[in-house]
A and B are shown apart, each in its own frame.
Chain A
Amino acid sequence: MTFEAVLQVLLSGLLMGLIYALMAAGLSLIFGLMDVVNFAHGEFLMVAMYLMFGLTLVTGLDPLVLTPIVVVCMFLFGAGVYLGIIRFVMRAKANQGMVQVFVTFGLGLVLMGLAQSFFSPDYRSIGDTWVGGKSVSLFGIYLPLPQVVGALVSIVAFLVIWLAINRTDFGKALEATREDAGAVSLVGIDKNRVFALGWGYGSALVGLAGSIIAIFFYIYPSVGASFILIAFVTVALGGFRSVYGALAAGIIVGLVEASTAILLTPALKSLGVYAVYLAVVVFRPRGLFGSI
């Protein structure tokens, strides 16, 4: 294998990894905030992709222009899911862990079923776009343009997350609620409001990821299921409480996936990722960068 080929594989792995990290960031944010794993996260991604698909059909604008609209819609959707459903899950007295798993899971099934009955199980894709199907060449290495854009968006998004957590009042409230959800109400922070906003921002992030993925991937009702496992693995690998851990883990996942595809066969690429995940959690159950 030539040097260029190796570089090609590593760079495309890196780009996909950044997109995976963006996809996992919302999951990690919500878990870190309130110890709830959203098993419908993949279906949130699917909703965002269909939203983008519908918007491009209706307006005829480019996905990159429509991305902010999708992100805002997903924010409202996420906050709505918290206020309408998850709020009541948090009140469950018996078996809370099980209730969380199955309520979010049931929500995912309903969303998938709704997508199937409205859009049929057909594979759809967004036609001509500004960046779709094009590639950039850099010193003899060809990189698909949508992934390059996605990776850049992901980097910017993580910068914004860093700024939001460290420089804003909401960030402070978020960190405080994450530390002790009971005590924050004593200093006048409305726990429910922070949780609802957390779900909103978490869904907005997955909406951003969905908007990008919709440009270069097929859209179908169970598309979430194809990505959710990667998101889970990324979050578990990075450590459930660490949003930045998700960034590092996403890159690792992307690189492992790309190298497995080259070293074995492309059909087994996810196997390498699962193997790395299992190996890491066996020796370090809290993930690479997680704290207890």
Chain B
Amino acid sequence: MQTIAPGADSSHVSKYATRALQHRRHQLIIVSCVAALMACVPLVITDIYAQNILVLTLLYVSLSQSWNILGGYCGQISLGHAVYFGIGAYSTVIFYMVGGVIPWIGMFCGAALAGCVALALGYFCFRLAGHYYTIATIVVAEAALVLFLNWEWAGAALGLQVPFGSDSWKTLQFGRSKLPYYYFVLALALSTWLVTWLIEGARWGYWWRAVKDDAEAAGSLGVSIFRSKMAASAISAFFTAIGGGFYALFVSYIDPQSVFGFQISLLIALPAVLGGIGTLWGPAVGAILLIPIGEATRSYVGGSGTGTHLIVYGTLVMIVALLRPQGLVSLFGPMRFFKTQKQ
């Protein structure tokens, strides 16, 4: 950590700033190349099953990136993001079924609702720090699950079926082709990446990382800890809920266990942890590794009943957390530049 004394040689500072700017521009170039590449992937991989896995992988890239905004940049480890995912999924479906609102709008209503819920929950839960906060998030998600399991109007334990219609971009329903879903979720993953990129360079991003590294020190320098956490939480919830809404349309059937269940919270957090929390590329690297492995063990080793995917997930997380707490992206040289947790 360098301190910049007043009157010190400013050329060093400006050199640092120029390198930072240059680095951020490079990231944009890299992401455009990756996006172009990803857009071509379904032209090569035409198998429906493989495309299904691609869609899920990109969905978790986006979800985990949203989690990363709160967990990675602001340091608040949430294991209850299923709340926002579920709110997004249920809002999209209920708005469509009851009000006839097209999913494009319903999704954003759900996301806005999730953002408000995040603020309300944050108002209470951010009195807790560290492990205490993590436990509270698990409890909140479990409470939401129990509520929806017993809420008759919202389908209770049976869940809701999205009414079938003809293929159209308006309702985001496509019976046979996976391609439209693929491009939608690719755009979603890119948007969350871009938002994270913007945050990383903005004043907020610096505040949040300060809160994560040392909340007391950040507070003494005038950073509002509480507001930082609230803002990070709301943005994180917003994008998680959009992912939830997309999921509901993609599988066209939701029930409380599949959208509010603990395994969703887990699958949202794990990719970021594996890839590297608080990094731009960590969630993507983690999801690309984790989701296909999970699907592969499920289909080749014989169903989720054998528990092989749990053993694989658990071992990976333990090994990475013990040996590389900074995540897998820290293995690549140039991305080390902006690492904040290096001591």
Contacts and interface: CB of A to CB of B under 8 A. Distances in A.
Given A101-B134, A232-B138, A110 B143 contact: no
A110 B315 contact: yes
A262 to B, nearest CB: 16
A229 B139 contact: yes
Nearest to A279: B124
Interface in A83-117: 85, 88-89, 92-95, 97-103, 105-117
Interface in B276-314: 277, 305-314
Nearest to B317: A106
B306 A117 contact: yes
Interface stretch (B18-26, B82-90, B105-113, B146-154): B146-154
Contacts of A18: none
Contact of B318 (A92, A110, A278, A285): A110
Given A116-B306, A274-B139, A281-B127, A102 B341 contact: no
Nearest to B319: A106
A233 interface: yes
B322 A103 contact: yes
A220 to B, nearest CB: 11
Interface stretch (A59-67, A211-219, A265-273): A265-273
A281 B262 CA distance: 22
Contacts of B314: 105-113
A68 interface: no
A281 B305 CA distance: 37
Contacts of B35: none
Interface string B219-230: 000000000000
Interface in A15-34: none
A94 B324 CA distance: 10
State the majority secondary structure of interface residues on B: helix
Interface string B106-126: 000000000000000000100
A71 interface: no
B317 A281 contact: no
B130 A97 contact: yes
A275 interface: yes
A121 interface: yes
A192 interface: no
Nearest to A221: B307
Contacts of A102: 273, 317-318, 321
A186 interface: no
Nearest to B123: A282
A110 B150 contact: no
B321 A98 contact: yes
A267 B139 contact: no
A101, A102, A232, A274 — most chain B CB neighbours (10 Å) = A102
Contacts of A232: 135, 138-139
B139 A103 contact: no
A25 B300 CA distance: 41
B140 interface: yes
B225 to A, nearest CB: 14
A157 interface: no
Contacts of A185: none
Interface in A237-292: 240, 265, 267-268, 270-271, 274-275, 277-278, 281-282, 285
Nearest to A282: B124
A205 B27 CA distance: 51
A227 to B, nearest CB: 12
A120 B304 CA distance: 10
A240 B149 CA distance: 30
B262, B306, B322 — most chain A CB neighbours (10 Å) = B322
A267 B305 contact: no
B124 A107 contact: no
A277 B140 CA distance: 10
A236 interface: yes
A108 B138 CA distance: 15
Contact of A278 (B136, B321, B342): B136
B77 A98 contact: yes
A37 interface: yes
B128 interface: yes
Interface of A: 37, 85, 88-89, 92-95, 97-103, 105-117, 120-121, 221, 225, 229, 232-233, 236, 240, 265, 267-268, 270-271, 274-275, 277-278, 281-282, 285
26 contacts: A37-B131, A37-B134, A37-B135, A94-B342, A98-B321, A100-B131, A105-B314, A106-B316, A107-B318, A109-B313, A110-B318, A111-B314, A114-B307, A116-B305, A117-B306, A117-B311, A121-B307, A229-B138, A229-B139, A232-B138, A274-B139, A274-B146, A278-B139, A281-B132, A282-B124, A285-B128
Interface of B: 77, 124, 127-128, 130-132, 134-136, 138-140, 142-143, 146-147, 149-150, 262, 273, 277, 305-318, 321-322, 325-326, 341-343
Given A274-B139, A274-B143, 4 more contacts: A97-B130, A114-B311, A121-B305, A270-B142
Q: What are the nearest 7 A-B pairs in CB distance?
A: A116-B307, A113-B310, A109-B314, A110-B314, A113-B311, A106-B317, A106-B318
